[in-house]
Structure 1
């Protein structure tokens, strides 16, 4: 009974700290088969964060519900993507050569650039979420988390892996997700964004536009400076998309349609 759900369980296992009994990695291609579920898992993380935001808003005012909601997503993922944006910032800005950058990214210690990137990511997301009405903020969280995981999938499909395959923590696929997988991933992404689009279509459009602009920056920089992506670059991409979507939604709420 578990085997048909194996790719979904693997996606949950990869993206979160949620216990997934039976989610053994059956073969070398487990990541490729699980990738199509990344947007769905992102939406589920977003739903959990949204639930905390709405529950917190019923008890506290001000910034507290937003802090709790962002912490929920961070805890559920084991700060996987926060670690990615910190390491990527250290590597891309701190290294002079491709080899130096890859070495810094692989180093678990955080440097000045990484600390700035990590704090900026947390502060921006909290401040932006706190500026939104409760239900719109909840919908934006679901969309941001789902779209962020879609960005991971697109990056893996668009540029090659730049690290050392032999020493990589994961067996990153050398082939691309098939057409059926892309269709499922697209459907899950649409599902994740649907609540936001039906709540405020103008805010959804602005959020998607800014998310795309910011989301392409880590892959483009990594392609130029590293020759491709690493696991940390994927985390940085996810974080930039989350920030971008919340930035766009907050801007739309503040100014409305032109």
Structure 2
């Protein structure tokens, strides 16, 4: 249990701006990839501030759309826009690069282009709309739990993307973080499916939970194939983009059943 707690703390620190005690970061700490099995648990913690705000605002009768927009804004602030940055870089690289080297070069550039800007805008719009659709059709607590559920599912998808593809660049940040092994990936898949499914039930029932998980699996697999074809491996940006894509489709899956 102590090991799980330590790995979860490191995962939360890696995935967000939430502070974690220094005792969880010894000098001989293992690479970041070894904490990947706890990403579903970290997803719960990372989403808690946004979910708590959503619950509070809906409980006092604030409009669902306004409450959802504020909750998504808190989510972005909590993560430091880490995943949005990855989505933007992937959109610019895949949209503007004709070959592998050019795609990777564009993704490494810190500036944002038209593809990246549009990708982030659409991501925010779709996530706000998805949360609002759920919030307007159910009550405060199920809506807040649904927000946590999609955070869990999308971060579980990150682990799968990270596990099945090799590092696209041997000297990249993702390569230095290592790669989740089969045991870590398997643990994350089972934990993420169970936790994400259970948290989805109050808002969308068993049908919504299954639909959300299936859509996330399908889109994650499709993005893995596209990434493998375009750059022959993963980067930190493609891992982040996986989170954004799977959060959107998970929200869609739940919204279809509320």
1:183 to 168, 184, 187: 187
Query: 1:215 maps to what in 2?
Result: 220
Tell me how far 1:83 sits from its aligned partner: 0.7
* C-alpha separation in 2, matches of 1:97 and 1:5: 42
Q: Which moved more, 1:190-199 or 1:218-227?
A: 190-199
Residue 197 (1) aligns with residue 204 (2): no
* C-alpha separation in 2, matches of 1:25 and 1:114: 37
Output aligned runs, 1:137-176, within 5 Å.
137-163=143-169, 165-168=170-173, 171-174=176-179, 176=180
Q: Which runs of 5+ in 1 are unaligned?
A: 254-258
* C-alpha separation in 1, matches of 2:115 and 2:32: 30
Tell me how far 1:119 sits from its aligned partner: 0.3
Query: 1:70 maps to what in 2?
Result: 72
Q: Which moved more, 1:145-154 or 1:190-199?
A: 190-199
Q: Which runs of 5+ in 2 are unaligned?
A: none
* C-alpha separation in 1, matches of 2:193 and 2:48: 14
* 1:24-64 Cα deviation digits (max 9, x unpaired): 36447421321111111112223332211111113311411
TM-score, length basis structure 1: 0.88
Query: 1:42 maps to what in 2?
Result: 43
* C-alpha separation in 1, matches of 2:126 and 2:8: 31
* 1:65-99 Cα deviation digits (max 9, x unpaired): 10111112111111111111111010011101100
* C-alpha separation in 1, matches of 2:92 and 2:18: 29
Query: 1:256 maps to what in 2?
Result: none
* 1:115-141 Cα deviation digits (max 9, x unpaired): 111000000010111111233322221
TM-score, length basis structure 2: 0.88
* C-alpha separation in 2, matches of 1:158 and 1:136: 33
